[in-house]
Amino acid sequence: MIRLAPSLLSADFARLGEQVAEAERAGADWIHVDVMDGRFVPNLTVGPLVVEALRRCTRLPLDVHLMVEDPDGLLPAFRAAGADRISVHVEACRHLHRTLARIRELGAAPGVALNPHTPPEAVEWVLEEVDTVVVMTVDPGFGGQQFLPSMVRKVEQLAHLRRERGLDFELQVDGGIDAGNAAQVVQAGATVLVAGHFVYRHPDGVAAALRALRESLGPRAARA
């Protein structure tokens, strides 16, 4: 099953609760929350306080994408706030294996994200430890950027490794995903599509956007 994870980065922050509810009603599978520290990426967003507020608005899994340097110290606070899934960047962790184990110990599903320039081999030795691998299909930091087509090959390589090792981690793509490229990344092996701008800035609204994304995948990916 292909999961859709709307990213709140392009939502109306004055009505975050409503925007989450809209996505939930429209059949979103996870809610993607982008956390930025102004150091790992040149932008600042939200912390555990906002995750805690979102937790009260939805029953959907909260998928927290930490774009922060050295995330270890923040993990307990995000987990206590209600994060179900926590992804960290391979480029931001000195002891990635330990960080992923810590996320699991805290009771969340660990994920590892790769910037566009980072080769798939960078996560080769932690694939057994993760529930999600996130292939960044833009440079992280901002919503509404253009999808990088060269990342399709990285998705294929990770999907190949997943098959070869008999693993079942989710393969998430994040950045510039829309109804024009979703089928291509799913064909390459992606199982979770993050979409911010396409979902929250769609002229016909959130429900129409999610429908368009699903329909673009063809009948095989239709919701059961």
**34 annotated active-site:** yes
Alpha-carbon radius of gyration of the chain? 16
33-72 binders of ligand DX5 (CB under 6 A) = 34, 65
Choose the binding region for ligand DX5 from 69-77, 142-150, 160-168, 209-217 (rule: CB under 6 A): 142-150
**174 annotated active-site:** yes
Between 178 and 215, whose beta carbon lies closer to ligand DX5?
178
Are residues 28 and 216 in contact, defined by beta-carbon separation less than 8 angstroms? no
> Quick one: which H or E segment has residue 36?
strand 31-36
116 binds, among ligand DX5, Zn ion, none (CB under 5 to 8 A by kind): none
Burial of 175 (0-12, 13-18, 19+ CB in 10 A): buried
The backbone torsions φ and ψ at residue 50, rounded to the nearest 5 degrees and listed phi first, read -75, -40
Tell me: does residue 102 bind ligand DX5 (CB under 6 A). no
Q: Which of 29, 34, 37, 63 is catalytic?
A: 34
Tell me: does residue 10 bind ligand DX5 (CB under 6 A). yes
The backbone torsions φ and ψ at residue 78, rounded to the nearest 5 degrees and listed phi first, read -70, -40
Q: Which of 29, 37, 131, 174 is catalytic?
A: 174
Q: How far apart are alpha carbons 173 and 145 in whole angstroms?
A: 14
Judged by the rule CB under 6 A, the positions of this chain that interact with ligand DX5 are 7, 9-10, 32, 34, 65, 138, 140-141, 143-145, 174-177, 194-198
Q: Which residues are catalytic?
A: 34, 174
